[in-house]
Structures are given as structure tokens and as C-alpha cells.
């Protein structure tokens, strides 16, 4: 475990702030100030989109879809300028804005072996599940002449077995997240292919 990222706590925000969320405009304003790397920004938009799409597919109301969207959209907000403070900086920012603790804890759970916070709720588990996989599927799309068109689960799985392809993506985290979510990797890949935000 990379102890530099350990948060050393498992409680985030305040229960008194349940129901308090940022607007999408406020979230994007924060990202415009904090994130100068366009590829990282696009990754966060992709993960946010997947989270919202999943919540919608589960039949959650618009408020819950917005919560899921915000968690995905903001999960790496501090990585560009403050990598040594990931994900402390964004957590502290959201706590200072009195944001719903469910959003904050979900962000704290997106890498349990790095941050030391175990995903428990469905929203927490799905952010962990989509984070690495979204980036991997996008990397695969960039090497295909037709991009996402005609992409098949089998093609993604084949690349997952090739440790030299997108080597920075943790296959261990993908497998662990799939197990924790109780969703086969194949089903997660299929959902990402179908719902991924495209450039």
C-alpha cells in the first residue's frame, strides 16, 4: 500500500449536511480552477457520466443521479495540481462547502488500497469499479481505427490480459472492484462500452 495517500480516517463530512450538493455549474467551475490537464478532465467527465448513467439505469431519481454524477466528476479533482495531497484536498474542499457526506465518502473510497477506506455502499463500490475500467476502455478506443464503434467485450478482455497495454491501469483494482460490486467484469465492460462519454 502506498502510505502517502492514506487518509487515516473513515468518516467524512457531517450528517447535518445530508442533501447539500453542488450544482453542476459549481462543480465545473471548481474543475476549471483546479484541473489544467485536459486528458484528466475528460477522464473525470467520463467517470461522472458513467456514474450518472448507472444510477439512471437502476431507476434512481434525479437527485440521486446528480449525487452519483458529482462523485464521479470530482473524484480526481486534486490530482493535477496536488498529487501528493490526493484525495485529501478535494475531501477538505467539499467538507468546507458542507457537501453531503455520502458524496465525500464515495470519493474517499475510489482506491481502497491507496486511501485505506473500504467501499461499502453501492455508490462507493461503483465509483471504484468504473474508475480504472473507464480509463482502460478509453485507451483501447484510441488504438482502434473505428474507436468505440463495434468494440466488443472480448477485445477489451484480451487487452486486459496484455500487461504491456495501458500498463499504468491496475488489473488488480479492476478485478477487486468487480468482486466487491458483485458484478462480473464482462458486465462492467459492456456497460462502459455502451455508456462511455466519447470525445
What pLDDT does 5 receive?
A: 87
Query: Model confidence over 148-170: pLDDT tens digits?
Result: 999 999 999 999 999 999 999 99
What pLDDT does 2 receive?
A: 57
Q: Which stretches in the chain have pLDDT values below 50? A: 1
Residue 6, domain member (yes or no): no
Residue 74, domain member (yes or no): yes
Q: What global pTM score does this model have?
A: 0.95
CATH number (domain holding residue 106): 1.10.3210
Residue 3, domain member (yes or no): no
Residue 4, domain member (yes or no): no
In sequence order, what DSSP letters do the residues of 78-114 get, joined into one string?
TTTT-GGGTTHHHHHHHHHTT--HHHHHHHHTS-HHH
List the domain range (segments joined by +) for residue 71: 14-195
Residue 139, domain member (yes or no): yes
Residue 173, domain member (yes or no): yes
Total domains in the chain come to 1
Buried b or exposed e, range 98-114, using 16+ CB within 10 angstroms: ebbbbbbbbbbbbbbeb
What pLDDT does 4 receive?
A: 76
What pLDDT does 151 receive?
A: 97
Amino acid at each position: 500500500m502506498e502510505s502517502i495517500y492514506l487518509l487515516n480516517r473513515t468518516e467524512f463530512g457531517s450528517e447535518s449536511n445530508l442533501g447539500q450538493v453542488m450544482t453542476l455549474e459549481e462543480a465545473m467551475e471548481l474543475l476549471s480552477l483546479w484541473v489544467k490537464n485536459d486528458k484528466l478532465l475528460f477522464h473525470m467527465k467520463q467517470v461522472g457520466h458513467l456514474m450518472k448513467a448507472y444510477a439512471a439505469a437502476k431507476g434512481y431519481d434525479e437527485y440521486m443521479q446528480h449525487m452519483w454524477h458529482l462523485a464521479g466528476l470530482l473524484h480526481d479533482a486534486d490530482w493535477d495540481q496536488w498529487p501528493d495531497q490526493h484525495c485529501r484536498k478535494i475531501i477538505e474542499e467539499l467538507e468546507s462547502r458542507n457537501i453531503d457526506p455520502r458524496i465525500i465518502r464515495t470519493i474517499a473510497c475510489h482506491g481502497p488500497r491507496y486511501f485505506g477506506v473500504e467501499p461499502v455502499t453501492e455508490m462507493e463500490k461503483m465509483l471504484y469499479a468504473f474508475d480504472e475500467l473507464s480509463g482502460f476502455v478509453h485507451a483501447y478506443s484510441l488504438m482502434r481505427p473505428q474507436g468505440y464503434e463495434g468494440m466488443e467485450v472480448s477485445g477489451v478482455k484480451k487487452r486486459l490480459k496484455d500487461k504491456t497495454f495501458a500498463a499504468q491501469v491496475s488489473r488488480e483494482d479492476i478485478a477487486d472492484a468487480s468482486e466487491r460490486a458483485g458484478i462480473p467484469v464482462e458486465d462492467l465492460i459492456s456497460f462502459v462500452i455502451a455508456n462511455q462519454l466519447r470525445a
